[in-house]
Structure 1
Amino acid sequence: MKYPIEVFAKKLVILISLLLLITIGALVYVTWIKTVNTNISEILNPFAILNKKDQQTPPKEPINIFSSSLTDKEINIALLGIDRRSKFESAYRTDTMVILSINVTKNRILLISIPRDLWVENSRVNALYIQGGWESLQSAFKEITGLEVDNYILTDFEDFAWIIDSFGGVEVAVENSFVDSQYPVDVTKTYQTVAFEQGTEVMDGQRALIFSRSRKGTNGEGSDWARMKRQHLLLKGMVGAVLQPKSIFNPMNVEQAYKMITDGRMDTSLTLSDAYYLWDMYKDKDKYTYVSLFLDSDYVFNPPMEDYGGAWVLAPIDPTYAAFHNKVKEVVNQPVPSTLQ
C-alpha cells in the first residue's frame, strides 16, 4: 500500500520534532546534573566555595614600601601653601614654600623657606606653579637651593585648618607675644585684631591658620620672614600631634589616612607606597634634629621697583645663589652629634 506524499511528509515532520525535543531534553538534563553535582560538592566541601571566590577575585597585593622612590639618604619634599579661599578658585599663588629635606643617615631635618616675592625665571616665584605647573617651581627650587626636590604636597587655607583639627589641635611654642590689628577677614574684605602670648598654646585649625598667615604684627612679628619662622614652629608641632589621643589618625591606618588627605583635599606627587615609607620612618622621629634656614637679607635685597615694572620684589644678591647653596651644603653635611652616633 502506498502512502500519499502528504501523509509521508506529515510523519517526517513529526519524527524530526520528536528528535529535537529528545535532544533538548537531554541537554537540559545534563546541565541540571552538573549543577546538582556542583552544589552537592560545595555542600560536602565548604572550602570549595571559598576556593571558587578566590579564583574569581585575585587577592590584593600588599603595599611594598621598598617600591617607594624615597629610598635615598636624602628626601626632599616641597610643602606648598596656596592662597586659595575656595575650591572654585582657579587662580592662586604658592605664598608658603617650605622645602623639607630629610637626611636619613644623619637623622636631620632641614626646613628651608623661600620668600614669595623672590624674582626668578622672569616672575615672582609664588606665581610659577599656576603658570607652569610643578615642573616650573621644581626647577626654581633647584636653582635657588641646589637641592633636587622630587615631590610636593599642596594645601589651601581650608585643608590646612582641617588637618590641624584632625590632629585634635597642635601644641605650639609661641616665641614672641604680638598683636596684629590688620589681619584680613576674607569673607568681608575687612580687618580684625588678633593677638598671641609668648608661651605654649594648643591651637585649633583656624587659630593655627591665623598664626601662620599674620604678617602685620608688633614686636618684630610684622614681616614675611617672621611668619616663615612661625610656620616652622607649627610644622614641628604637627609632627608630635599625629598620634595624640584626639587625632582621627590614631591608631594610624596609612592607606585610609592617605585617601582622606588626598581625596578632594590636598594635592601631592607622593604615592601610597611613599606614604608607607614615610610612616615607617615616623617611629624614629625623636632621633631627628631640626634646622631652619631662610633666604633672608644675607642673600636677597629689594631692588628698585622701576627695574621690575613697578613691582615690589626680592632679587638675589648673587644671581647664582652660590652663597645660599654653600649654606645648605654646610647644614646638610654637618657631622652627626656625638649623642646620636
Structure 2
Amino acid sequence: MPNETNETPKAPKNKKKWKWFFISLSVILGAAAAFAIYWTVGVYNALDNFSDPEATKPPTEEAQETPVPIPEWEGTERVNILLLGGDARGIDEGQVARSDSILVASFDPVTKKAHLFSVLRDTYVSIEGHGKGRINTALALGEYPLAMQTVGDLLGLDIQYYVYTDFEGFKQLIDTIGGIYFDVEKDMHYTDNADGNRYDIDLKQGYQLLDGDKALQYVRFRHDAMSDFTRTERQRNFLQAVSKELQSTWNIIRMKKILDSVQPYVKMNISVPDMLKLGQLGVKSHVASTTQIPPMELIAEDRVGGASVIGIKDEDELRAYVQMTLEQDDTIPVPTETPIPSDDSAVGGNTTGNSSTKQ
C-alpha cells in the first residue's frame, strides 16, 4: 500500500509534463507556420516588384534589327545568369549605362555546383549587327538581349536571365545586410574628380567591416599594374562573401527587407516563380570555381584605332576552357584563380580544356 500511494501521483505528473510540452510545441510550430506564410507572401510580393520579363526584348528596331532569342529555363538543366554592374554616371535619363562589371553565374540543378565567371570588360568580340567591339559596349548597343547574346556566344553558354544594378544599388545591398567583413589585401587610393569626388577610393589594408561605400571602392579599384585583371578577381572573391552572407539564417529571415531596399536600383527579366526556384537552387548550391574570362594564356594583346583591347587567341579554345571548368570535379583544384599581387607582381596563367558544347 505505501508503494501504491507513492507511485500513483507520478503518472499524472508525467502526463501533465508531456501535455504542456506538446502544447508549447504546437504554439511554436503554429507561430513558425504563420511566420513562414508571412515571409513567403512578403518575399513573393517583394520579388514581384523586380520582375520584368519583357525587358529582354529590344527597345527599338534601331537598337537591334532582328529580335534576339532568349533561351527558356525549364528548371532541370543548367541555368546561366548574366550579372551586370552598370556605371550610370554622366548619362541622360532613358539612356543605357555602360557595363562596368560583367559576370556570369552558372548553376547546375543536378550537381548543385555553382560557377562564377568574370569577363574582362575590354575583351574584343563580335557583336551581332555591330561588327567587333569591346564586350561592355553590347549593353549600350542593344540593351540586355544583345548583352546576353554577346556574352553567351563568347562563353558558349545559353544565358537565360540577366540582373542589372548600378553603383547605388550595390551600396544599398551591402548596407542593408550590415556590411561584409573582408580582408583588403593592400592600401587602395584613387581620386575620381567626377561627381564631386563622390566615388573616390581610400582603403587601408587589413581585415575590416566594409559598408556599402567601402565595398564599392574595393570592387571598383583597378589602379595597379594588373588593372582589370586583379579587379575582376576581387569582384569574384567579394561576391562569394556576399553570397555566403545572404545565405545566413538572419538574412534569409530579413529577405523581404533586403529585396525592398535594392528594388529601385535593380532590373532583371526573371519571373517571380523562377526567382523562387533560383533562390532555392542558390541556397542548396556551393561555389565550385571562380574564373577569369578570357584566361591569361588565351589573351592576345591587340590595338584597335590606337587603343589597347583584350584579344582572344582562339575562341573555340576559350569555349572549351569554359566547358572544362563546368565539368571539372571540384574536389580537384582548378587553376582558374588570378593571384592578387600586393606588390604589382605578374599574374600566372591557367589551363584549358577540350570541348565547346553550348549549354
TM-score norm. by structure 1 comes to: 0.67
Deviation (angstroms), 1:86: 7.2
Among candidates 55, 76, 79, match of residue 80 of structure 2: 76
Secondary structure (helix, strand or coil) at the match of 2:170 reads helix
- Structure 2 residue matching 1:314: 3-state secondary structure: strand
Q: What secondary structure sits across from 2:188 in the alignment?
A: strand
Aligned to 1:223: 227
Match of 2:117 in 1: 112
Question: 1:12-57 CA distances to partner (integer Å, 9 max, x unpaired)?
Answer: xxxxxxxxxxxxxxxxxxxxxxxxxxxxxxxxxxxxxxxxxxxxxx
Alignment of 1:308-327 (within 5 A): 308-318=304-314, 321-327=315-321
AA paired with 2:281? M
Where does residue 267 of structure 1 map in the other structure?
A: 267
Task: Quote how far apart the aligned CAs of 1:193 are.
Answer: 5.7
Q: Distance in 2 between matches of 1:190 and 1:161?
A: 13
TM-score by length of 2: 0.64
Determine whether 1:101 maps to 2:106.
Answer: yes
1:214-267, Cα deviation, whole Å (9 max, x unpaired): 1114xx6x51010101101111111122265875x63334xx7656543x3210
Change (3 A) 1:190 1:266: closer
Q: Does 1:237 align with 2:235?
A: no
What residue number does 1:250 align with?
Answer: 253
Instruction: Report deviation, 1:142.
Output: 2.2
1:145-183 Cα distance to aligned partner (Å, 9 max, x none): 101111110011111101111111122243x32333x34
Percent of pairs with identical residues:
21
Report if the CA contact (8 A) 2:171-2:215 is conserved.
yes
CA pair 88-331 structure 1, distance change in 2 beyond 3 A: same
> Which sections of structure 2, spanning at least 5 residues, go unmatched?
1-40, 45-71, 333-359
Whole-Å Cα distance in 2 between the matches of residues 70 and 208 of structure 1? Answer: 35
Match of 1:330 in 2: 324
* Alpha-carbon contact 1:165-1:204 (below 8 Å) kept: yes
What is the number of equivalent residue pairs in this alignment? 259
1:116-142 deviations in Å (ceiling 9; x for gaps): 111222221111111112221122112
Q: Quote the Cα distance in structure 2 between the aligned partners of 1:243 and 1:107.
A: 15
Q: Secondary structure at the match of 1:116?
A: coil
In the other structure, the counterpart of 2:169 is 159
User: Do the aligned residues in 2 keep the contact of 1:225 with 1:296 (CA within 8 Å)?
Assistant: no
> How far did residue 110 of structure 1 move?
1.1
Q: Which runs of 5+ in 1 are unaligned?
A: 1-59
Q: For the aligned residues, what is the CA RMSD?
A: 3.1
In 2 relative to 1, CA 225–238 (structure 1 residues): closer, same or farther, beyond 3 Å?
same
2:203 to 195, 199, 203: 195
| Alignment partners' CA distance in 2, 1:69 and 1:258 | 23
For residue 177 of structure 1, the aligned residue among 183, 186, 206 is: 186
Q: Which segments of structure 1 move beyond 4 Å, counting only runs of 4 or more?
A: 86-89, 189-193, 243-247, 256-260
Q: Rg larger in 1 or in 2? A: 1
> 75, 87, 97: which is aligned to 1:92?
97
Secondary structure, aligned partner of 1:188: helix
Shift of 1:113: 1.1
Distance 2:179 2:218 in 1: 13
**1:75-117 superposed Cα distances (whole Å, 9 cap, x missing partner):** 1001101111378552521020001111222232111111111
Q: Whole-Å Cα distance in 2 between the matches of residues 225 and 328 of structure 1?
A: 17
Residue 288 and residue 230 in structure 1: after superposition, are their counterparts in 2 closer, same or farther (change >3 A)? closer
Contact 2:165 2:265 (C-alpha < 8 Å) held by counterparts: yes
